[in-house]
C-alpha cells in the first residue's frame, strides 16, 4: 500500500475531513485511513504511524479539507524527488470563511502579523530546505522510515509539530515545502478562541527549546519584549497620573519624567505606523479593503497573546511544575487508553 492517512481525533469530535478524503482521485486500493482517538494528539499520531500499512504517512487534521488531487501530487513529488523525506504545504483559510475568522486569517498570512510563520498559512515558493516556520502537522507527508527514528513529543501540545520538524532536521532528514499540497483549515471564529490559540503557541515555545535556541530565532522573542515594554509604559503613566492627581497634562509627564522622551516613545510609534502600513498592504493583497480597519487590532492580538503565552511558559517551565500541560506532562488514563481504528470510508 502506498499511503496511510493518519488523523488524530479528540474523543468528543468527529472528522469532517473524511468527506473530502472520499473525493480523492487516487486508486482506493493504494491508501487507507487511520483515525486515532485520544486526548493526546502526539500520541495519537505516533500510534497511527505504528498501525499504518503504507510506505508514505500523511498527517492531517480532523477538520481540514484537502484537494482531490492531493495524493496524486504527493506521489508525483516523491517520485521526482526521492531524496526528500518530509514534505508539506500551506493550510489556507477556506474561501467561505467570514467575519472575524476571515480577517484573522489575513493576519496569519501577514509578514507583520506572523513573520516567517506566515509561510504556514499562505502560498509561497517551493523550498527544499524547509523548517518549522513552513510546515505543520495539519499537512505533513513523511516517508515511514522517518517515524522509526523520531516521534511526535507526547509532552507538547500545541508545538509538537515544530519540534518534530526540528528533530527531523537534526537527524539529517531532508525536508521540503511545496505549494502543490494544499489543505483548507478553519480559523478560530471568536476573539477569545483566537487569543487562546496564540497564547498556547507562545506557551509551548520555552518547552520546545531552551532560551539559547530561541535567541537564534529572535522573531519569536519580540512579542514578549514588546509586551513588557507596553506594560512598563502604562504602569509609569498610571502611577504618575496618580501621584499628580491627574491635575497636570500628559505633556508635563512626558517632559519631566526621564522615562518619557522621544526615544521611549519610538517603539510604540513605530509599531502603530507599521501596523497601519501593513494593514493597507494586506487588505489590498487579499482584495478586501475593509479589512484594513480591523487588521491592526488582529496584529495586536497575535503579538500580545503570543508574547504573554511565552512569558507564562517561561515561568511555568523554570519555576513551577516543569510541564507545559499537566494533561500531557503526566501519564493520565486519557493519554494512555487510546481508541484506534482503521477507518473504512468507501
Which domains does the chain show, CATH number per domain? 3-189+331-343 (3.90.550.10), 211-329 (no CATH)
Whether 110 contacts 302, CB under 8 Å? no
- Count CB atoms within 10 A of the CB of residue 53: 13
Q: Tell which phi-psi region holds residue 76, choosing left (phi > 0), alpha (psi between -120 and 50) or beta.
A: alpha
Give the span between the Cα atoms of 61 and 9, in whole angstroms.
8
Q: What is the pLDDT of residue 13?
A: 82
CA 75, 81, 84, 88 torsion-angle sign: negative
Whether 56 contacts 142, CB under 8 Å? yes
Give the span between the Cα atoms of 3 and 87, in whole angstroms.
14
Q: Name beta bridge partners: 59.
A: 6, 140
Listed as ranges, residues in the chain with pLDDT below 70 are 240-263, 321-323, 325-346
Label the pairing between strands 56-60 and 86-88.
Answer: unpaired
Provide the total of helices (H) and of strands (E) in the chain, helices listed first.
Answer: 15, 10
Q: What is the pLDDT of residue 25?
A: 93
The residue assigned the cell 487579499 is 286
Q: What is the pLDDT of residue 345?
A: 46
Give the span between the Cα atoms of 296 and 150, in whole angstroms.
40
Q: What is the pLDDT of residue 262?
A: 57
Write down the pTM of the prediction.
0.86
Q: What is the pLDDT of residue 328?
A: 52
The residue assigned the cell 481525533 is 9
Q: Which of 304, 140, 117, 328 is nearest to 225 (CA)?
A: 304
Q: What is the pLDDT of residue 255?
A: 52
The vertex-151 CA angle with 24 and 220, nearest 5°, equals 90
* Beta strands per DSSP E along 179-278: 183-184
Amino acid at each position: 500500500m502506498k499511503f496511510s492517512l493518519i488523523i488524530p481525533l479528540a474523543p468528543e469530535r468527529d472528522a469532517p475531513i473524511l468527506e473530502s478524503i472520499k473525493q480523492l482521485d487516487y486508486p482506493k486500493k493504494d491508501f487507507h485511513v487511520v483515525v486515532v482517538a485520544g486526548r493526546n494528539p502526539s500520541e495519537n499520531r505516533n500510534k497511527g504511524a505504528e498501525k499504518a500499512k503504507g510506505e508514505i504517512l500523511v498527517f492531517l487534521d480532523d477538520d481540514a479539507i484537502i484537494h482531490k488531487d492531493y495524493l496524486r501530487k504527493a506521489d508525483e513529488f516523491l517520485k521526482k524527488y526521492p531524496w526528500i523525506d518530509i514534505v508539506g504545504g500551506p493550510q489556507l483559510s477556506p474561501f467561505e470563511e467570514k467575519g472575524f475568522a476571515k480577517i484573522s486569517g489575513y493576519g496569519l498570512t501577514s509578514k507583520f502579523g506572523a513573520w516567517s510563520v506566515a509561510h504556514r498559512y499562505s502560498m509561497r515558493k517551493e523550498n527544499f530546505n524547509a523548517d518549522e516556520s513552513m510546515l505543520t502537522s495539519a499537512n505533513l507527508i513523511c516517508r515511514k522510515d522517518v517515524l522509526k527514528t523520531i516521534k511526535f513529543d507526547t509532552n507538547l501540545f500545541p508545538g509538537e509539530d515544530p519540534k518534530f520538524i526540528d528533530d527531523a532536521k537534526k537527524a539529517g532528514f531532508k525536508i521540503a515545502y511545496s505549494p502543490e499540497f494544499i489543505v483548507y483549515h478553519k480559523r478560530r471564529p471568536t476573539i477569545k478562541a483566537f487569543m487562546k490559540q496564540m497564547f498556547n503557541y507562545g506557551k509551548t515555545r520555552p518547552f520546545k527549546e531552551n532560551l539559547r535556541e530561541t535567541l537564534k530565532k529572535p522573531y519569536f522573542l519580540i512579542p514578549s519584549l514588546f509586551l513588557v515594554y507596553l506594560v512598563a509604559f502604562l504602569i509609569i503613566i498610571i502611577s504618575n497620573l496618580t501621584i499628580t492627581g491627574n491635575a497636570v497634562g500628559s505633556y508635563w509627564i512626558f517632559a519631566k519624567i526621564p522615562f518619557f522622551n522621544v526615544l521611549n516613545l519610538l517603539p510604540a510609534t513605530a509599531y502603530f505606523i507599521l501596523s497601519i502600513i501593513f494593514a493597507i498592504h494586506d487588505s489590498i493583497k487579499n482584495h478586501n479593503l475593509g479589512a484594513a480597519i480591523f487588521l491592526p487590532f488582529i496584529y495586536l492580538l497575535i503579538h500580545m497573546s503570543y508574547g504573554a503565552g511565552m512569558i507564562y511558559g517561561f515561568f511555568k517551565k523554570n519555576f513551577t511544575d516543569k510541564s507545559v500541560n499537566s494533561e500531557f506532562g503526566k501519564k493520565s488514563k486519557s493519554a494512555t487508553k487510546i481508541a484506534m481504528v482503521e477507518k473504512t470510508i468507501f
